[in-house]
Structure 1
Amino acid sequence: MGTRISYPAEVKMKAVKMRLAGVPVKEVLKELNIRNRTQLKTWVKWYKAGELQRFEQPVGKQYSFGKGPEYESETEKLKAENRYLKQQIEVLKKYEGIGEEVVPETAVELVKELKTSMPVREICQHLGIARSTYYRWRSKSGEETSKQAVERKIGTLCRDHKFRYGYRKITALLKREMPINHKAVQRVMQKYGWQCRVKVKKRRRTGQPCHISDNLLKGDFQADQPLQKLVTDITYLPFGQKQLYLSSIQDLFNGEIIAYSIGSCQNTDFVLHTLAELPSLPKGCILHSDQGSVYTSYAYQQAVKERGITMSMSRKGTPADNASIESFHSSLKSETFYLDELRSTTTAIVEQTVENYIHYYNHIRIQAKLNNQLPVKYRQLAA
């Protein structure tokens, strides 16, 4: 039979507060190093019943309020108390990482809790810190409030954006309110596991060059003005009751999606419908695509010429030549269907998810290459 662990009262109370705040059970167990969910359920039951004194009882001892456990001798009592105190310290070491990187706030709270039963010097020895260090931390304990506020703010931003942002974009959002270093934000996100959960890396595929139209972009995805360089592509949406496709056109000036279509058939009419959604274009506008049959078709080539658009195409088997729109389609799937685990849903939900994300991408999602501006706002400022 395994050794039974006695959790400190502050760990139990924090676990209860996290559950009452809506934190998932698995996350609470992992963060506080609690063995099983039954213990957590019991603590919540005690808290709701107002039996807070039970948080202090030693493991395996059940007793009424105001009465302590009974022991056969004074020696047994001292041994039990010593074992209980050691267990408290060991659990707190796991809970806050004490021994590798001591958390000042936790050390101060622990000494305050145990100093009536043990000398401060002995508690500090167990924690592996100097007594002078404890007193210095205690004098500065009030300063930790601002640090906690920053951590809460970072956590809120990460959750609001469904963990789509890395530390650079979270830093950019925080700098609108306060001065903060990106390394500090990165440490906090690593500490709590709030890193970006999307963007699975893909290998670059190569192929022999085979030109139908010249590659006018040649990997230059920068544009000096709106509607100067456009890119287009089709991606699969295999998440609904039937296979769907998304055809989209992106403006390289600000990354904005300026036209898109969702359909169940990947044919020439499908991409022509997307082309018709474009606004009025300036003379000399370039539209870049891959060498797919829908883009090399006679009907599509004619429609492009009638709009006064100059056609450009990637080399065959080289998606990197159209990296910008490929990246957008990857972000769309990673930050919606894969993140929310929408692997099998209805056609209507798939269409609504895509429409909502494109609006989010254009009007809400900041982009580092735009100096952390929104695509639509960036275009408006340029105008």
Structure 2
Amino acid sequence: MIDKIEYLCMENQFIYGYRTITRLLKKSFDLVVNRKKVYRIMKEKGWLCRTRPKKTANLGKPYYVTENKLDRDFHTDKPMQKLVTDITYLYFGNCKLYLSSIMDLYNREIVAYTISDCEDTDFVLDTLNQLDLPQGALLHSDQGSVYTSKAYFQACTEKGITHSMSRKGTLADNACIEWFHSVLKSETFYLHKWRNLTKNSIKDIVQNYIIFYNEMRIQQRLNDQSPVQYRKLAA
């Protein structure tokens, strides 16, 4: 059994905790094991995953603010009906980059993203313009200055998007995308402790991880399917 646990940990780059590995033992090998035993083995072998909290920023004075229409209802039965977006900071090596992501709450898939060395309105508009959303789709963000800008408001209006915003200083209002950005860092940069990264290497790490997250990384809420697997099975 230990060899199977090691295989699953290595196969998934040591990103899963003992609960997920316990479920994978059953899914992959039809092996039912008490999760406490899996925890003990992973702890003894040094295979437990590690996490680190995400830093947040308080940006400038808002131009336009709307109410929280999402209201922490992160469930939807249809793709591209409810989406969430956020920016996170990539401070690694001697580099400073920003990642803007949009997640479809239907299957928690990252459907658009942009990596840039400049955090401005054009940066988030580039992410938004990757999508052709249905009229009335709900897009939720925080109250960062790029999302409360006139240009972003006009873009959402022209696309027929219903904009929703978190209450100020309330990270839980946008918990899903906050979680994704935290997991991305925990399972790449923090896990492997890379040093002396270049901008290109950071971009490669993020792009490769998003492919892995969308196509391979299982989630319990998706019946242990990846976001893409879940979407295809439901089609």
Shared fold per TM-score greater than 0.5: yes
1:242 CA drift (Å): 3.3
State the match for 2:200 in structure 1: 348
Report the AA paired with residue 23 of structure 2.
A
1:283 CA drift (Å): 2.8
Aligned match for 1:328, one of 169, 172, 180: 180
1:173 CA drift (Å): 1.7
CA distance in 2, matches of 1:297, 1:236: 20
Say if 1:231 and 1:322, in contact at 8 Å, map to a contact too. yes
String of CA shifts for 1:116-136, please: whole Å, max 9, x gaps. xxxxxxxxxxxxxxxxxxxxx
**Structure 1 residues 203 and 239 mapped into 2: Cα distance closer, same or farther (>3 Å)?**
closer
Report the AA paired with residue 2 of structure 2.
E
CA distance in 2, matches of 1:244, 1:201: 18
Aligned pairs for 1:1-383 (under 5 A) are 150-176=1-27, 177-183=29-35, 184-196=37-49, 198-200=50-52, 212-278=65-131, 280-383=132-235
Say if 1:228 and 1:282, in contact at 8 Å, map to a contact too. yes
String of CA shifts for 1:336-380, please: whole Å, max 9, x gaps. 111111243111100000000000000011011111101001011
Report the AA paired with residue 215 of structure 1.
N
1:312 CA drift (Å): 0.1
Give the structure with higher Rg (CA).
1
String of CA shifts for 1:140-167, please: whole Å, max 9, x gaps. xxxxxxxxxx111101211222221011
**Structure 1 residues 277 and 182 mapped into 2: Cα distance closer, same or farther (>3 Å)?**
farther
Normalised by the length of structure 1, the TM-score is 0.56
Say if 1:240 and 1:347, in contact at 8 Å, map to a contact too. no
Higher helix share: 1
**Structure 1 residues 241 and 194 mapped into 2: Cα distance closer, same or farther (>3 Å)?**
closer
RMSD after superposition = 2.1
Say if 1:231 and 1:289, in contact at 8 Å, map to a contact too. yes
1:268 CA drift (Å): 0.6
Between the two proteins, what is the percent identity of the paired residues? 57
1:241 CA drift (Å): 4.1
Higher RCO structure (Cα 8 Å, ≥6 apart): 2
Say if 2:53 and 2:182, in contact at 8 Å, map to a contact too. no
CA distance in 2, matches of 1:283, 1:181: 47
